[in-house]
Amino acid sequence: MSRITLSRFLIEQQRKAGTLPPELRLLIETVGRACKAISYSVNKGALAGILGEAGTGNIQGEAQKKLDVIANDFLLDANEWGGSLAAMASEEMELPYHIPGEYPKGEYLLMFDPLDGSSNIDVNISVGTIFSILRCPEGIDHPTQEAFLQPGTKQVAAGYTVYGPQTMLVLTFGSGVHGFTLDREHGSFVLTHSDMQVPETTQEFAINMSNMRHWEAPVKRYVDEMLAGKTGPLGKDYNMRWVASMVAEVHRIITRGGIFMYPKDARDPDKAGKLRIMYEGNPMAFIIEQAGGAATNGYQRIMEIQPKGLHERVAVFLGSKEEVERITAYHQQ
C-alpha cells in the first residue's frame, strides 16, 4: 500500500470533504516545507555553526538564539510569495510582516512561534515550531495588528512541528488531529498518526516546580493533591515531567495523556501568564480540543478569550479533559 504524504492527504481532504479550500491547502504545504528546512538546520547544530546566542533580543525582551532568527527567516521567506497570505505575525517581531508589493496577496493571516523551547537548542533537547492560521477580515488590504486580534475559535488551521528523534508535523483544520513524520530520505512528511486522541484520564503532569512559591492558591492545592499520591484526595500516584518546550510537552500529552500547566504567578501580577495567546495558547488549544482534550486559563476556555494585543500573555492549563476540568473548577471556586 502506498504511503500518504502530507500533500496527498490535504488534496484528498479537499476533494472528499470540500472543507479545505485550495488556497489554505497550499498555505499548509508551504508551512510544512519551511518546517522541513528548520528541521535540517536543527539537525546540523554545531556542524553548521548555528548554536549559541544571536546577540539580539526579541520584542518579548528575551535573548535570541541564532536558530530563533534562522527559523523566523525561513518561515517569512517561504510564505511571503505564495499568494495565500495577507500578512504574517511572529513571536519574534513587534509588528505584523506585510507581504512585499511585488507578490500577490491572499485571504489568510499566518502567526507563528518559529522555534519554541529554544533554550533547549544548545543541549540537544527537543524544540518545535507552532503556527496558527486565521482569515483576514473582509475589506482589509493592509492588515494591522487589529486584524489578527481574533479569538481562537476563528482559527481555520493550526499545527506544530516537533524536532526530536523524529521530526513530526501535527495538524488540525477543524476535523480531527493528524500526525506526519518526516521521511528524510524522500524529503516528505508521511501520515503516520491518524485521528490522534488525548486520553481522558491521566497520571502525569508537567509544570515548572521551581516556581511553586509564586503560584496562586488553586494551583498549589491541585499540585499538592497530585503529590499526595494514592493516599491523597485524588487516590492515585502521579509522575511529573518538564521539558521546558511547550511543543514537546503537548506532543507527549497528545500521545499518552497528561496535563500541561503554565500558570500566572506573583512575580509579575500585571501579566495574565507567561505564554502568548496568539502564538502558543490558541493554536495548542485548538489542537488539544480537536484531539478530545481541554484547554483553559483556569477560568474560561482559552479559545474564547478576546485578545487585546499581538503579544498578549495567558495562563495555560491543557491536556486530558478530566484533569483540566479539575484545576479549572479549583480556580472558579
Q: Please check if 101 is assigned to a binding site.
A: no
Is 280 labeled as ligand-binding? yes
Residue 184's φ and ψ, nearest 5 degrees, are -65, -30
118 annotated as belonging to a binding site for a ligand: yes
Beta partners for residue 157, in sequence order: 133
Which residue carries 497520571 as its cell? 203
289 is an annotated ligand-binding site residue: no
Extract the runs of DSSP E, i.e. beta strands, from the chain. Answer: 53-57, 63-65, 85-90, 97-98, 108-116, 127-135, 157-163, 167-172, 178-183, 188-193, 204-206, 239-241, 259-262, 275-276, 294-296, 313-314, 316-319
Judge contact between 117 and 274, C-beta under 8 A: no
∠ CA 316-308-248, rounded to 5°: 30
- For the record, the C-alpha cell of 75 comes out as 518561515
Q: Any known ligand binding at 245?
A: no
Annotated binding-site residue? 41: no
Burial of 55 (0-12, 13-18, 19+ CB in 10 A): exposed
Whole-angstrom Cα distance, residue 292 to residue 295? 10
Q: Binding residue per annotation — 128?
A: no
Residue 320 is labelled as binding a ligand: no
CA dist 292 → 3, 120, 279, 307 (Å): 26, 29, 21, 24
Pairing of strands 85-90, 108-116: parallel
d(CA 253, CA 242): 12
**Strand order of the sheet with strand 259-262?**
239-241, 204-206, 259-262, 316-319, 294-296
The answer to whether 91 is a known ligand-binding residue is yes
Q: How many CB atoms lie within 10 A of CB 14?
A: 15
The answer to whether 102 is annotated as binding is no
Known binding-site residues for Mg(2+) equal: 91, 113, 115-116, 280
Known binding-site residues for substrate equal: 116-119, 208, 274
Known binding-site residues equal: 91, 113, 115-119, 208, 274, 280
